[in-house]
Amino acid sequence: MPMDTNILHNISYGMYIVCANRAEKLNGQIVNTLFQITNSPITLAVSINKNNLTHEYIRAGKRFSASILSEETPLAFIGAFGFKSGRETDKFVNVQYRILESGCPAVLDYAVGYLEAKVICEFDCGTHTVFLGEMVTAEVTGAGRVMTYDYYHQVKRGTTPPSAPTYMRIAAATAAGPAMPKYRCTVCNYIYDPALGDPDSGVAAGTPFAELPDNWSCPVCGVDKTKFVPVE
């Protein structure tokens, strides 16, 4: 029988910040594996790596919140929640959030809304635990298109659609000379593409890696230029 795991790239996901708390301690992380499972009652399932601090806190507080991110979410914001551990940094500094009645936090920045679920059971899935929760709180706090996992990879990290205002500048930069090498972050695998620049950090399309300012850092995980290697 065929076994082509490429099929998995065709499964769709969203982009969420899932938060939990242990008493006064708060943590949150980026999650793409969050799904509504039933409607009566409304239940949601989320898959969390057992090594993550959020896993520990969901078990402790028996709650989790999920903030649904919009397409406007900057890479750096996703990076702060997705590539850093709450054991080393306080992820809530300079972030707008709400403490719900249960004590569980919910992030408000760049979110179109959030929900909170009370854990009713969990499934041991080896590296991960799937928590099943019943929705107990939900609020729409913003508008805009929600970010899909595919959008995050295809648009935020690499290519740009022809409808984007930067598209013509990219074409001009590419046409002006030989292709400039791309560089890959060895920590998070973000690709710096000179043709695209890093608009979130104010770096114009057409800027070679060597001309990035010394204080430039990976827009996803925050490490400095020395952690990058040329692609190919």
> What minimum distance in Å lies between the beta carbon of 81 and Fe ion?
14
Binding site for Fe ion (CB under 5 A): 185, 187-188, 190, 218, 220-221
- With contact defined as beta carbons under 8 Å apart, do 157 and 190 qualify? yes
> What minimum distance in Å lies between the beta carbon of 15 and Fe ion?
17
> What minimum distance in Å lies between the beta carbon of 217 and Fe ion?
8
User: For 92, what's the count of Cα atoms within 13 Å in the CB-facing half-sphere?
Assistant: 19
> What minimum distance in Å lies between the beta carbon of 84 and Fe ion?
11
> Number of H helices and number of E strands within the chain?
4, 12
The nearer residue to Fe ion, 112 or 212, going by C-beta atoms, is 212
The nearer residue to Fe ion, 149 or 167, going by C-beta atoms, is 149
The nearer residue to Fe ion, 18 or 220, going by C-beta atoms, is 220
60 φ, ψ (degrees, to nearest 5): -70, -45
Burial grade of 118 (CB within 10 A; 0-12, 13-18, 19 or more): middle
Q: What is the largest CA-CA distance in the chain?
A: 60
The nearer residue to Fe ion, 30 or 44, going by C-beta atoms, is 30
The nearer residue to Fe ion, 142 or 181, going by C-beta atoms, is 181
- With contact defined as beta carbons under 8 Å apart, do 72 and 144 qualify? yes
> What minimum distance in Å lies between the beta carbon of 66 and Fe ion?
24
> What minimum distance in Å lies between the beta carbon of 225 and Fe ion?
11
Task: Tell me which residue of 124, 125, 111 sits closest to 65, measured CA to CA.
Answer: 111
- With contact defined as beta carbons under 8 Å apart, do 167 and 84 qualify? no
The nearer residue to Fe ion, 2 or 230, going by C-beta atoms, is 230
- With contact defined as beta carbons under 8 Å apart, do 183 and 223 qualify? no
